[in-house]
Amino acid sequence: MVPVSTHTAAPTEGIPSAPGAFIQDRLAGWVSDLTTLHELTERLAGTSTLDSALHELLVAGAALVGAARGLLVLEPADGRGPSRTIGLGLSHAELGHIETVPRSATAYGRFLDGLPDTGAPLASPDILGDPGLDPGCREVAARLGYAASYTQPLATGAAEAAGPDATARTTGRLGAAVWLYDEPAEPLERQCHLVGVYARYAAEHLTRLLELERARADAAAVAEELLPSRLPRIPGVRLAARRRAGPGAGGDWYDALPLPDNALGLAIGSVGGSGPAALAAMGRLRAGLRAYAVMEGEDPVAVLSDLELLLRMTEPSAAATALYAYCEPDRRTIVLAGAGHTPPLVTGERRTEFVETTLSAPLGMLSCWEAPSVEFTPRPGETVLFYTDGLLRRTGDTRDRAFARLHAAAAGVPKVLRQDPGAVADHVLRTVLPADGTDRSAATEDVAVLAARFD
């Protein structure tokens, strides 16, 4: 038997309740925030191009601050570029309306210009009702239908601000993101903290992608300088060239040079690898071929034999493919030889076929030269396409299917375009290469096309 007391216990006034529920709620909130940040930063880390990273940053920031629209301005402080403006839920015309507001009147413009007292995030909770804002800001906001904004600077080396009104010192301004609200609003302190942490990580990631894009642009500029600035004009033939550079700055190249007696030398080739080494090898091969073509232009086998020796002496560990053609436009004859290179394609109104060339190993892999040259005669109005192997690999198909795809593209050139070799090359590139960019690995290949139309 348990005795039951007849006394009533006194109320426990003044004793605080157990803090377990409060702590659990706070911990759950922190775990949720950390999980969200982890997922968003993982998605951002998965971006490999500057444009995709900018778009991901804008979308993730909008989710963190609870906004529906926004814009991001990339404008590095070092002035080396690139500069871009992208929008989320805003058309190009609407972005143009926003840019009509003077930069000094906008929070992102003041930050990008490096004006005093800038660098920290800035909220405008009621744009239409704030008399201190520039009238242009209120006019554009009313026209586009947003009532509040939150601006987050993007910079590397940002020091932690001592308070909400402090100015963050930055060592490298990259740009600023602005998120827009349809109604008067302001993000919570927790949201501001989350987007600030995310922005600091995003700035470091953008810096790496920015340097990578600059390096690719510099390599592409060097590659363009190594190629002919313009093609020669020879009676009886019209020339056009196209080049699609991959992100790795490979060594695909082409050349066309006038020779004595109104002859023409056409060359195309590819150096294995990518980067500065491939560009240097490409420049040496092209310069060497020009010299050998002047000395022994009528004999393509001798030209490529000399080029083989040059490659062995200067690039003993490199391999390259090349094709050289000696053309006499007045007779419409072409004598060519190739070293591991893809065969040319001749196309016209009555035929589209690959030129049968003899098989040969690439330059740098030959024990002795055994492949003779071949001669063929294009008909009046036909175009001969010389191309690099990257055109086939970019299709993402097997070798046989890639050749069939190229053949069908050349055969399907509309009649109105066959008069222009540049139009023929453009049509082939548009038809052969995947327009949706589904094959990411193949898209890294360089592509060079040289088209010669004989009258």
CATH of the domain at 100: 3.30.450.40
Residue 164 confidence (pLDDT): 42
Contacts of 190 (CB under 8 A, 6+ apart): 29, 33
Comparing 39-48, 216-225, 263-272, 350-359, which segment has the lowest mean pLDDT? 216-225
Residue 134 confidence (pLDDT) above 90:
no
CATH assignment at residue 242? 3.60.40.10
Task: From 214, 205, 282, select the one nearest 42 (Cα to Cα).
Answer: 205
Q: Which amino acid is at 209?
A: L
- Which residue carries 């094959």 as its tokens? 439
- Residue 166: its pLDDT value, please? 40
Here the tokens at position 85 are: 């403006």
Same domain, residue pair 427 and 321: yes
Question: How do 263-274 and 320-328 pair as beta strands?
Answer: antiparallel
Rounded Cα–Cα distance for residues 450 and 455 (Å): 17
pLDDT at site 4: 46
Task: Report how far residue 393's alpha carbon sits from residue 231's, in angstroms, rounded to the nearest whole number.
Answer: 26
Q: Is residue 164 part of a domain?
A: no
For residue 339, how many C-alpha atoms fall within 13 Å in the half-sphere facing its CB? 30
Tens of pLDDT, residue by residue over 423-445, are 999 999 999 987 654 444 445 67
Q: What is the pLDDT of residues 364-392, one digit of tens each?
A: 776 555 668 899 999 999 999 999 998 99
Residues in the chain, total? 455
Same-domain pairing of 407 and 313: yes
Which of 18-22, 224-228, 302-306 tops mean pLDDT?
A: 302-306
Query: Rounded to whole angstroms, how far apart are CA atoms 77 and 109?
Result: 12
- In 3D space, the residue among 130, 141, 151, 133 whose CA is nearest the CA of residue 65 turns out to be 151
φ/ψ of residue 34, rounded to 5:
-65, -40
Are 262 and 329 spatial neighbours (Cβ–Cβ below 8 Å)? yes
Q: Establish whether the linkage from the previous residue to 378 is cis, with ω within 30° of 0.
A: no
Same domain, 113 and 137: yes
Give a yes or no: residue 13 inside a domain: no
Residue 452 has, within 13 A of its CA and on its CB side, a CA count of 34
**Are 240 and 187 members of one domain?**
no
Return d(Cα 90, Cα 101) in angstroms, integer: 16
Q: Tell me the residue range of the domain where 409 lies.
A: 229-454
141 has a pLDDT exceeding 50 = yes
pLDDT of residue 13 exceeding 90: no
**Per-residue model confidence (pLDDT) at position 165:** 42
This prediction has a pTM of: 0.64
Higher local confidence (pLDDT), 189 or 249: 189
Residues 247 and 326 in one domain: yes
Same domain, 56 and 145: yes
How many domains does the chain divide into? 2
> Do 141 and 273 belong together in one domain?
no
Return d(Cα 95, Cα 81) in angstroms, integer: 20
Are 108 and 149 part of one and the same domain?
yes
pLDDT for 117: 67
Distance CA 150, CA 177 (A): 8
| Average pLDDT, integer, range 3-22 | 55
131 shares its domain with 174: yes
Alpha-helix runs per DSSP H in 46-145: 50-65, 92-99, 107-112, 135-144
Residues 313 and 278 in one domain: yes
Residue 396 inside a domain? The answer is: yes
Quick check: 339 and 308 in contact, CB under 8 A?
A: yes
Distance CA 448, CA 389 (A): 9
Instruction: Kindly state whether residues 435 and 398 are assigned to the same domain.
Output: yes
- Residue 183 included in any domain: yes
According to DSSP, residue 65 is labeled H
What average pLDDT does the structure give for the chain? 84
